[in-house]
Structure 1
Amino acid sequence: MNNFTVIKYNPNYFDVWNNFIQNSKNATFLFYRNFMEYHADRFSDFSLMVFKKNKLVALLPANRNSKTVYSHQGLTYGGLILKNDVKFNEVLEMFSSLLSFLNSENISHLEIKLMPAMYCNLPNDELSYLLFLLQAELIKKDNLSVVNQRYKLAISNNRLEGVKRGVKHNLKVEESKSFDEFWNTILIPNLNKKHGVKPVHSLSEIKQLHENFPDNIKQYNVYHEGAIVAGTTMFITKNVAHCQYISGNQDKNQLGSLDFLFEKLINEFFADKLFFDFGSSNENHGRTINRGLQFWKEGFGARTVVQEFFSVKTDNYKLLNSVMK
């Protein structure tokens, strides 16, 4: 398996990388360099590019920590980014070459967070199968709550009561061009009070990312008598509308503000998407679930999609040598 050459990404390939992302079968805007590099100071980038006869055929957005390379820890999902017409035997050979390269670089393990199928334009399970062949260790599973927009379940009575409260209080949902109001008034104070943490993105980072990707990152707020009472920051891809941040003020249950917001988002603002992804309700590294949060999401008809995380030894690349008969 020596048909492929693997190199580390460097800024000279900025446009080449982005052009490949634009024409791949399983990439979203998160993999563009002008998204990935917003947190370049937090991660030691170790992204890889795979070539066949000087033609770019695959990418691995990644970072390195000691002897482990991760399919990038700053991104929600990852793995091999592939062109539309790639076939299984090619993926097998290029991934073997990639692991061999990592092994030669004194990397002992590669950790991969697989991309849920709903984010892909074409079937994309080659890597999942290869990880099985490579005897990869399953290290985590997340339970994502997802609404299939083509086969929607009825909203629960609990959530309908919240929607009715929103109508009664004359709530308004608006797309906002500014993130400051929601982040400074509701999101940041709530996260600090309830969990003692800050958002993964700073306000300045989310504003910069919105400037870079105005069609993919949007803010939706709920107003009561002209004052903001709830909101969500959305990450939007071709197939999926994903809630990156959700929060409401102390009156959210009385006003029904979050129920009102998400009924509108699912059935009006993002009715054209294939999926509406509430994200994970997991805690404790995927081993427990926030019961109340899960119950709330499922009230909108969301059901479970699993995201898997694996660790594979790089010197196991030899196990792929005799797969194809």
Structure 2
Amino acid sequence: MEEYTVVKYSSLYCKAWNDFLLNSKNATFLFHRDFMEYHADRFEDFSLMIFKKGKLIALFPANKSGDKIYSHQGLSYGGVLLKDETKLREVLNIFYTLLEFLDKKHFKVLEVKMLPSFYTLLPNQELNYLLFVLNAHLVKSETLSVINQKNPVPISKNRLEGCKRGLKTGLKVIEETDFKSFWNEILIPNLIKKHQVTPVHTLEEISYLKQKFPENIKQFNVYQNRKIVAGATMFLTENVAHCQYISGNADKNQLGSLDFLFQHLIKNVFVEKAYFDFGSSNENDGKNINTGLQFWKEGFGARTMVQEFYSINIGNYHALKSVML
């Protein structure tokens, strides 16, 4: 496939990369170089750009570790980014060229976090089919709790009662531009206490990202008598409102703070989004589900969609040659 070439991303291509995202059918702001590079010190970038006769036709956000390539460990999802007009045969040629390039660079394994299907406005499952042809191994599957805003399921009695408690206790939801109080007073203490971890994003990192993507990252705090009692950090794409962080203080059940907050976000703030994504309730690398958390999310009408993670033997790329008859 001599008309196709693969180029490793460098800062010289920054504008071309970001411009491509504007007309990609499956790109979100997470693939913008300003987002990808906030944690450049943690991952060795190996993002690739695919050209056809000198024209950029696809992107592959990725990092490397040893003889493995990942798409991309620092992002929630990945895959090959494509233009609206790209058809299946072209995707096959792109992925063949990509794997052939990696094989010649002596990489053995490619691991892919699939983009959940509801994030795209156009059908985007060409790669799913090609993974089948390549005999890719499903290494992980996570359940996502998602509300279809165009066909909502009624909120449960339990969640409604929580909302009523929020009204009675005088709670107020305020959109903030500063993350400091939520991070330091609610989120970090809760994560350390419950899971002995800290947020994926430091306060400095989330503040930087908010500055770069003010319309894509939003913070909503819940206050009682001017004291913060709960909050949520939202990542927004064209048709999805995604909960990146959710947390409340020890009184959240008595106050109804999280029920009050999310009923407001779902029914008022993000009602025009096609989907409201609570994210995963999985533990143990996807093999278990936090029952209480799942029950709470489903109480708002969320139902299950799946995100899959695959491992590909790069040397199998020759199987793609015989797909089209």
- Shorter-chain TM-score tier: over 0.9
Verify: 1:97 aligned to 2:103, yes or no: no
Q: Which residue of 2 aligns with 1:199?
A: 199
State the secondary structure of the residue aligned to 2:322: coil
Note the 1:291-306 alignment, pairs <5 A.
Answer: 291-306=291-306
Query: CA separation in 2, counterparts of 1:139 and 1:2?
Result: 33
Question: 1:155-177 CA deviation, whole Å, 9 max, x = no partner?
Answer: 00111110010011111111011
Note the 1:248-287 alignment, pairs <5 A.
Answer: 248-287=248-287
Q: Which residue of 1 aligns with 2:83?
A: 83
Q: Which residue of 1 aligns with 2:68?
A: 68
Aligned residue type for 1:44: E
Aligned residue type for 1:233: T
Query: CA separation in 2, counterparts of 1:322 and 1:101?
Result: 18
State the secondary structure of the residue aligned to 1:98: helix
Q: Which residue of 1 aligns with 2:59?
A: 59
How much does 1:3 deviate? 2.7
Runs of 4+ in 1 over 6 A off after TM superposition: none
Aligned residue type for 1:3: E
How much does 1:206 deviate? 0.2
After superposition, the CA RMSD in angstroms is: 0.6
How much does 1:304 deviate? 0.4
What is the TM-score when the length of structure 1 is the normalising length?
0.99
How much does 1:2 deviate? 3.2
Question: 1:10-55 CA deviation, whole Å, 9 max, x = no partner?
Answer: 1100000000011100000000000000000000000000000010
What is the TM-score when the length of structure 2 is the normalising length?
0.99
Aligned residue type for 1:35: F
Q: Which residue of 2 aligns with 1:150?
A: 150
Q: Which residue of 2 aligns with 1:229?
A: 229
State the secondary structure of the residue aligned to 2:243: strand
How much does 1:7 deviate? 1.2
Question: Please, which runs of 5 or more residues in structure 2 have no aligned partner?
Answer: none
State the secondary structure of the residue aligned to 1:307: strand
Note the 1:152-167 alignment, pairs <5 A.
Answer: 152-167=152-167
Q: Which residue of 1 aligns with 2:44?
A: 44
Q: How many residues align?
A: 325
Q: Percent identity?
A: 62
Query: CA separation in 2, counterparts of 1:23 and 1:179?
Result: 31
Note the 1:310-321 alignment, pairs <5 A.
Answer: 310-321=310-321
Question: 1:209-240 CA deviation, whole Å, 9 max, x = no partner?
Answer: 00000000010000111111000010001000
Query: CA separation in 2, counterparts of 1:26 and 1:169?
Result: 43
CA contact (8 A) 1:2 1:97 kept: no
Aligned residue type for 1:175: E
Q: Which residue of 2 aligns with 1:20?
A: 20
Question: Please, which runs of 5 or more residues in structure 1 have no aligned partner?
Answer: none
CA contact (8 A) 1:140 1:308 kept: yes
